[in-house]
Structure 1
Amino acid sequence: MTGSATFMNENPEDPFSPRRAVSAVLDPHGRITGWSERAEAVLGRSAREVLGRVAAGLLVAPEDRTAVDEAAAACRKQGGWSGVLPLRVGDGRRRRFALRVRPLERSGGLTEWLVAGAPAAEAGQWEIDRSVVDGLFSRSPIGLAVHAPDLSILRINRALAGIGGIRAEDARGARIGDFLVAGDAETIEARLRQVLETGEPLIFTEQPCRLLTEPSRERLVAVSAFRMEDADGRVLGVTQLVEDVTDRHRARRRLALLSAAGTGIGTTLDVATTADELASAAVPGVADHASVDLLEQVSRGEEPVADGGGGPVRRTALHGVRPAPDRSALRIGALNTFPPDSPQGRCLATGRAVLEPVVGASGPPAADRGLPRGAHSLVVVPLTARGLVLGCMSLWRSRLPEPFEEDDLTLAGELAARAAVSIDNARRFTQQRRTARALQRRLLPREFPAHPAVAVAHRYVPAGGAAGVGGDWFDVIPLSGARVALVVGDVVGHGIDAAATMGRLRTAVHTLADLDLEPDEVLSHLDDLVTRLAGEQEADGEGPGEEVVGATCLYAVYDPVTRQLCAARAGHPPPVVVAPGGAVELPELPAGPPLGLGGLPFEAAETALPEGSLLALYTNGLVDGDHHDVDDGIARLCRTVARPGRSLEQTAQEVLDALLPARPSDDVALLLARTRTLAPELVATWELAAEATAPSRARQLTAERLAAWGLEELAFTTELIVSELVTNAYRYAGGPVTLRLIHHHRLICEVGDPSSTSPHLRRARTTDEGGRGLLLVAQLAERWGTRHSRGGKTVWTEQLLPGHRD
């Protein structure tokens, strides 16, 4: 604008004014009777040279005579003429002049003509300048104000008068403070004064502008200003241009708020957190107070009903520029039911936004409804996702004087729409995670009964964040012969699918353990099962984006009689063994492939464990972290479990505290077992030759041992069991027979032979002489079974001790 001011000030005077115009007087015959000094200077002809001569013949070239004749005819017809004609100057050149011809009445009825002219370029420039100035004050849409050096108003244009709601003539001599509130007027005057003092222009500076006539209406204007100077550099005042950018500012603010909301809402998959982010995004940018009320079932992570109107809602979030009244109905977590005729009730019932410019016009005062005093305007927008109403957001204004408008309603609707999708996603995730956790709680063991072979402690930690529940599991399974199986496994993936697959694998492990299979055989059967599960998934048409069926597993069997640990693993981290003296080792245990690859063998290894050894079995999530690799994690685990003087429960908790962050990225299963050994006096083992006297010898040895243990009550039934089992081994095995009795919470009888043929129960016919022995054993024993080994088989029975109940 400074450039424009200089441009307009280059020719500030009218070129047709008496001082600047070229002027002459013509008689009725067109002879020159008057010639001004300006005409002499500009046209280069003196008065003596031109007076009395015909102007057309002297000043017009022959080729321009036609144009002059037409102008003369128009002048006589119209009583005057104005236009542009070429004239010859003193050196003979032709120059274009803008001319104005007006009649001069003389006595005697004669008419003379006054001709005023100026160079055409100069006159055209003056017309442009005059049009610009006229346009700025009469037609420009941007406000314009001209101030004297004391900042009093010299002139304002129509646009600024319209902004201020006044007439342009009423502003002359007034000051800015006569129209604006004090603070805004002082700000503007201070900036104009700085322009006057420094000469530095002010360019599009935004500032508030509240009129005295409407102090509650907040406007924003963009002000530009420049200092006015005359040709000598004397300060004449300052001109400012004012543009009302309130709508533009509000639109920009809304876009910025929506952009911030896009990144600030839905940062977690938690319903309450997402609701709080929504309320926080609305205050103070849109409203002074915001609350989010969700249908009760939505707040619990459940599916909303199709018609949510009239149902109870739970206050999930509340934000405000001032604290809300301490009323129970307003507190976060409070359960409320909105009346059907309330704005919230109507919004929930119809799924449409509600705008009430004046709260309280049709109801009790704001304070009586628990709102901050002074709340005067209300907007309620629904939270809708997938066509279902999840709840509503209520916005109030108390500090901001303007009531809500349709633009605010649109903005609130945009915020609510974005948040509703995030809330619905969080609700569905919460529902899925809760279902998966419930499923996993029912699939995982809670407590293990006391076992003579080991004392155990266990922990399960679900993954933090979106990962949630996974497929990690652990188990302690009693086996025959006072042995125990220790199991940990990890199914690929997270969620319900992983938990369900884990349940199937855990059930399969229990079934295989009941068969008394070797650890490597158990893993082979699990591998087949996982392969079948993958085939079922492929048959169901699940694509590569679905959960992948795969798992790792460690299966170990500990025998408290021999103190041997036999284990095999399928792609799982190795166990950690801590000797009673504190020495830590990782047993040499072949890794084996993960379950589900199919066709690859598994290998088992045996390790002798001193009594009181600590065995740590775990899943990969415990040792594989974001800031360290698996080897570092295992090393930290070894250092933690090796600390002496702590119980198993204390050790388990210290392991989690030392190795896991607050929100682990993967779920974790940990199983700690301290080994026990059966006292030698509680175990009796005999080697019997495969001969006819073996059954009687077995009965005798059994009776003597039971007497020594004080179990004479069991002598008769036990002798029958031992006699039948030894007889079968003598008849069908064809080799030496091993008899072992174990006395702990039950009486265990084991008869081993080199044959791999398993005995089977059958019902003998009345004509059969034999075939009833094994049926008799099954009736006398509490449990019985057969387990196979690489050297043959063992048939075992268990009997309850007198006075004991399982």
Structure 2
Amino acid sequence: MPSDALLVRIADDGRILRCSAHAGALLGRSPSDVEGRTVATLFQGHSGADEDPTPLTALGPVSLRPVLDGTSLTWEVRDAEAAGPGGWDLAVLETLFTHAPVDLYVLDSALRIVRCREDARRDSTATTGRDFFTTLDLIDPAEERTLALQVLTDGATALHRTVRAAPRSGIHRTTVYSMSYVRLEGTDGEVLGLVVSALDVTDREQALQRLRLLEEVRATVGTRLEVTAVCEEFADAVVPAFTGIVVVEVIEDVIRGEEPPLVPVSHDVPLRRVAFRGVVSARPVNDVHRLPDGTPFSRVLDDLRPRLVAVTEDSSWLSADPARASAIAQSEAHCLIVAPLTVRGQALGVVSFYRHRHEDPFDEDDIALASDVCAYTAHCIDNARRYTRERTIASTVKRRLLPQRASALSTVDVAAMHITGPGGGGAWYDVIELAGGRSALILGDVSGRGITTATTMGQLRTVIHALAALDLEPDELMARLSDTAGRLARERAALPTGDPLNQEPLTAGCLIVVYDAVDHTCVLVRAGLSEPYLVRPGSDGEIVCAPCGPVLAGPDPAPFPATEFPMPPGSILAIGNEDLPTSSTDLQELLRAGQRDPLDEVCDSLAYALRDRHETEKLVLLARVRGLPADQVLTVQLGEDLAAVPAARAAAREQMAVWGVGADDTFTTELIVSELVGNAVRYGAPPYRLRLIRNERLTCEVRDTGQSLPRLKHARTVDEGGRGLFIVATVAENWGIRYHPDGKTVWAQQRPGAAESA
């Protein structure tokens, strides 16, 4: 078989342009005798000559192929056995071009159409000889042309390329093709052109695009529990994947966390424009307005039914909202879908999707898609609304439970820096004045957020105040507080398993610092929180190293160790619910500045320094101590018998005179001193000590080493004793007992001037 499979080339008018030597031998004629004659005269005998026509079968099995030469169409008759087995290729090609479910195109090496399906979407006669990429009106023909030339050059097949074409006549949407390019080669390896298949996959691509949009909305919308943030996420998800312009408007009450209104929504209800993506906006974002009556937007809030609206010059509703009409005209929007944001038959807002300029118009399937994405977004908005409402309630509860302002103490200046963080939290603090010139600084942190956390915080804070009134030592106070927290945790764990609170274990941390302004010392007890930071006058800051006890309500039954350290006047102590950036020189400078500047200004500077760390709630309590001057304290060591009573009374009378206390208050002080010293001598154990302290109150303390428990009782008429503590409780403003490892202190307080005013 010769390598050249070409037998005969025939012109479009039937003339034989070329005859190969092999074909001439098969026909029994010379090539020159065949060339120039028509097919009819050679094979069918229509020339009127005497010679008999040559039978076509003399050529054997052949295949017929069209070839475009310049602007002329010719046909090549080739040896079918060289092109394929049994000569079936022609039948196969004819079948493909007639019945294949895709558009087939045969291109020459210049990428012009040689043949296409006769029932293709375009007239095959009109397209023959035209440039393929111009004929299909591809949106990016240059890219496809480059790829086709590459396939012609290296023969690498390009399959299933998604290509977009401009809308055709009578069809107002972009056509999407799945195109494949295969190089067409002769049996001798000659590159003849390309075979291109184009399958219209517009419906499939639109369905996939809708699925991708739904997945994107579900994956990205609702990641944050803020109504405005949810709407911003939604706008980013739908533009430009679904629409070129979107406007999200939410009812103002919904943004504040209130219950959404029922349908139909009154036209007086204000809406806020919370998100916009597009070209021209009728109103700025965050603008609060009312929807004009008689527009698709107000109608959607009447019946919660989405609407597909074409924008034309005859759209009468445009006149009801001139600002929006102007924006629509400037953006060249030609259609829109207005869909409601709704849950449980309640309206949250409305979303407007606009297609503009060269974007395809919306169809009925787009309405269903818009309804689906808006329904999901509405649930996210409702979740954010509920969270906003709960957070508002929790913040209100917590604000009412926390001290409205730090207590003004004569020996300690206090200021708090509180950064709520997202969702709030359970951090709290207290400053409690204790007897004997002492002050308690308390900072706690309950895990979690919301109303439950706020109420738990309030319960623990109430317990702290009740225990502080008992004048317990800091470690004892912390232990009893932990007992209370454990009881609350057990109550929570005993709730039904369906109760959400059952799934939230209660854990809390606390730090208690008791400062003694007379001795200039501090006692520190920690339960889970970080160590405080101390700056003494004239020295650098340092962390107060103190062992940490277990968290409150935790499973660890370990004790709460107490740490005592000196704290001279002028020192500043910082305690927080999180680790302070103690390695930062800025923090050290701020705290050193707190020894001379107002603590409120130091808290502001500290908040500015921590501005990039607001991911969690932060509470820092700053305390600057002053101490009591020595001339405001009288300490007297007493004898071991009842003679100590008149001696103590005389010392108190003299000190009252030095302090300039009035006669009535002096008499009350002598009475209190006499009863407390007498009880200590009778029922306590030596040594005995009397201490008088004057600041805002006048405190009388009597200390002994006995472990007996003083008891207040009502003496009978015939009893000669038992009235001491009753008398003290009657004339003093307050009294109590403080226990030590080596004894106890009984104290009583009175406010100077109270007796005179009475």
Q: Structure 1 pair 128/12, CA: closer, same or farther in 2 (3 Å)?
A: farther
Task: Decide whether the 8 Å contact of 1:317 with 1:332 is kept in 2.
Answer: yes
CA shift for structure 1 position 530: 2.0
8 Å contact kept, 2:294–2:320 = no
* Distance in 2 of aligned mates of 1:129 and 1:555: 95
Q: Which amino acid aligns with 1:560?
A: A
Q: Which residue of 2 aligns with 1:475?
A: 430
Q: 1:520 aligns with which of 471, 475, 480?
A: 475
Q: How does 1:19-98 map to 2 (within 5 A)?
A: none
| CA distance in 2: counterparts of 1:336 and 1:177, whole angstroms | 51
2:279 is matched with 322
Letter in 2 for 1:712: G
Structure 2 gap ranges (5+): 17-24, 30-43, 45-54, 63-79
1:334 aligns with 2:287: yes
- 8 Å Cα contact 1:8/1:129 also seen in 2: no
Matches within 5 A, 1:81-120: none
One-letter identity of the residue aligned with 1:529:
T
State the Cα distance separating 1:535 from its structure 2 match.
1.6
Counterpart of 1:725 in structure 2 is 676
CA pair 516-205 structure 1, distance change in 2 beyond 3 A: closer
User: Is 1:254 matched with 2:204?
Assistant: no
Q: Matches of residues 667-678 of structure 1 in structure 2 within 5 Å?
A: 667-678=617-628
The 5 A counterparts of 1:232-243 are 240-243=196-199
Please state how far the C-alpha of 1:504 moved relative to its aligned partner.
1.7
Q: How does 1:371-410 map to 2 (within 5 A)?
A: 371-373=327-329, 374-385=332-343, 389-410=347-368
Matched ranges for 1:123-162 at <5 A? 128-145=88-105, 156-160=116-120
Could you report, residue by residue, the CA deviation over 1:566-604 in whole angstroms, capped at 9, with x for unpaired residues?
Answer: 222234333333221214444453323333336432332
Deviations 1:639-668 (A, max 9, x none): 86456765434444455555x462444433
Question: How far apart, in 1, do the equivalents of 2:108 and 2:479 lie?
Answer: 99
Q: Structure 2 matches for 1:297-316, cutoff 5 A? A: 297-305=253-261, 307=263, 309-310=265-266, 312=269, 314-316=271-273
1:427-464 deviation per Cα after TM superposition (whole angstroms, max 9, x unaligned): 33333333333332222223223212211222222344
In the TM superposition, what whole-angstrom CA distance separates every residue of 1:189-219 from its partner, at most 9, and x where no partner exists?
9669958985968845554433674585432
Matched, 1:610 2:568: yes
Distance 1:645 1:786, change over 3 A: closer
- 1:577 maps to 534
Q: How far has the Cα of 1:670 moved from its partner? A: 1.6
Inter-partner Cα distance in structure 2 for 1:795 and 1:475? 25
Q: Specify whether residues 241 and 646 from structure 1 end up closer, same or farther in structure 2 by C-alpha distance, changes over 3 A only.
A: same
For residue 635 of structure 1, report the CA deviation from its aligned partner. Answer: 9.9
Residues 336 and 718 of structure 1, relative CA distance in 2, 3 Å threshold: same
Decide whether the 8 Å contact of 1:573 with 1:620 is kept in 2: yes
Shift of 1:175: 7.0
CA distance in 2, matches of 1:191, 1:310: 59
Q: Judging changes above 3 Å, is the alpha-carbon distance between structure 1 residues 351 and 186 closer, same or farther for their aligned structure 2 residues?
A: closer
Q: Could you say if the C-alpha distance between residues 551 and 239 of structure 1 is closer, same or farther in structure 2, counting changes exceeding 3 Å?
A: closer
One of 395, 411, 418 as aligned partner of 1:460 = 418
Following superposition, the deviation at residue 224 of structure 1 comes to 4.9
CA distance, structure 2, for counterparts of residue 576 and residue 750 of structure 1: 32
2:251 to 283, 290, 295: 295
Q: What is the CA deviation profile of residues 267-300 of structure 1, one whole-angstrom value per residue up to 9, with x for unaligned ones?
A: 3332211201211222222222111122333212
Contact 2:157 2:181 in 1 (8 A): yes
Q: Which residue of 1 aligns with 2:318?
A: 364
Count of equivalent residues: 688
Q: Secondary structure at the match of 1:363?
A: helix
**Secondary structure of 1:481 counterpart:** coil
274-283 or 605-614, larger mean C-alpha shift = 605-614
- Which runs of no fewer than 5 residues in structure 1 stay unpaired? 1-5, 20-36, 42-101, 103-113, 624-631
Distance 2:643 2:189 in 1: 139
Alpha-carbon distance between aligned partners in 2 of 1:703 and 1:392, rounded to the nearest angstrom:
81
Rate the CA distance shift 1:513–1:8 in 2: closer, same or farther, 3 A: farther
Task: Call closer, same or farther: CA 1:692–1:151 in 2, change over 3 Å.
Answer: closer
**Superimposed CA distance per residue, residues 767-795 of structure 1 (whole angstroms, 9 cap, x where no aligned partner):** 55555554443343322333232333333
CA gap 1:379/1:515 in 2 versus in 1, 3 angstroms: same
Cα distance, 1:419 vs structure 2: 2.7
SS at match of 2:548: coil
Which one has the largest radius of gyration?
A: 1
3-state DSSP class of the match of 1:725?
helix
Shift of 1:305: 4.8
1:503 paired to 2:463: no
Deviation of the 1:11 alpha carbon: 11
What are the residue-to-residue correspondences of 1:315-714 with 2, within 5 Å? 315-325=272-282, 330-338=283-291, 342-358=295-311, 361-365=315-319, 368=322, 370=324, 371-373=327-329, 374-385=332-343, 389-464=347-422, 468-542=423-497, 546-587=503-544, 589-596=546-553, 597=555, 599-622=557-580, 641=591, 646-658=597-609, 660=610, 662-713=612-663, 714=665
2:368 is matched by which residue type in structure 1? T
Does the 8 Å contact 2:175/2:200 carry over to 1? Answer: yes
Q: Which residue does the alignment assign to 2:33?
A: none
Code of the aligned partner of 2:101: P
Rounded to whole Å, the distance in 1 between the matches of 2:140 and 2:677 is 113
- Pick closer, same or farther for the CA change 1:584–1:195 going to 2, 3 Å: closer
Q: 2:241 aligns with which of 259, 279, 285?
A: 285
Matched residues in 1 for 2:5 and 2:251: separation? 68
SS in 1 for 2:503: coil
SS of structure 1 residue aligned to 2:672: helix
- Select the residue among 789, 792, 804 that pairs with 2:740: 789
Distance 1:213 1:795, change over 3 A: same
Cα offset, 1:478, TM superposition = 0.2
Q: Which amino acid in structure 2 is aligned with residue 662 of structure 1?
A: D
Report the residue type matching 1:505 in the other structure: L
Mean Cα deviation higher: 776-785 or 299-308: 299-308
Q: Which amino acid aligns with 2:562?
A: A
- Asked whether the 8 Å contact 1:199–1:226 carries over to 2, the reply is no
Helix, strand or coil at the partner of 2:738: strand
Partner residue in 1 for 2:52 = none
For 2:224, the equivalent position in structure 1 comes to 268
Aligned CA distance change for structure 1 residues 639 and 432 (closer, same or farther; 3 Å) = same
Give the AA of the match of 1:722: V
CA pair 692-350 structure 1, distance change in 2 beyond 3 A: same
Task: Tell me how far apart the structure 2 counterparts of residues 744 and 462 of structure 1 sit (CA, whole Å).
Answer: 36
Q: How far apart in 2 are the matches of 1:731 and 1:150?
A: 123
Query: Aligned partner of 2:437: which letter?
Result: A
Sort the Cα spacing of 1:214 and 1:522 in 2 relative to 1 into closer, same or farther, 3 A.
same
Tell me the amino acid that sits aligned with residue 364 of structure 1: L
Letter of the 2:256 counterpart: R
Q: Which amino acid aligns with 1:572?
A: L
Instruction: Give, in whole Å, the separation in 1 of the partners of 2:556 and 2:147.
Output: 85
Give the direction of change, closer, same or farther, for the CA distance of 1:687–1:290 in structure 2 (3 Å limit).
Answer: same
The 1-side partners of 2:134 and 2:533 are apart by 86
- Mapped to 1, the partners of 2:712 and 2:635 lie a distance apart of 26
Equivalent residue, structure 2, for 1:65: none
Letter of the structure 1 residue corresponding to residue 439 of structure 2: V
Deviations 1:462-497 (A, max 9, x none): 344xxx333332221100112101122233344443
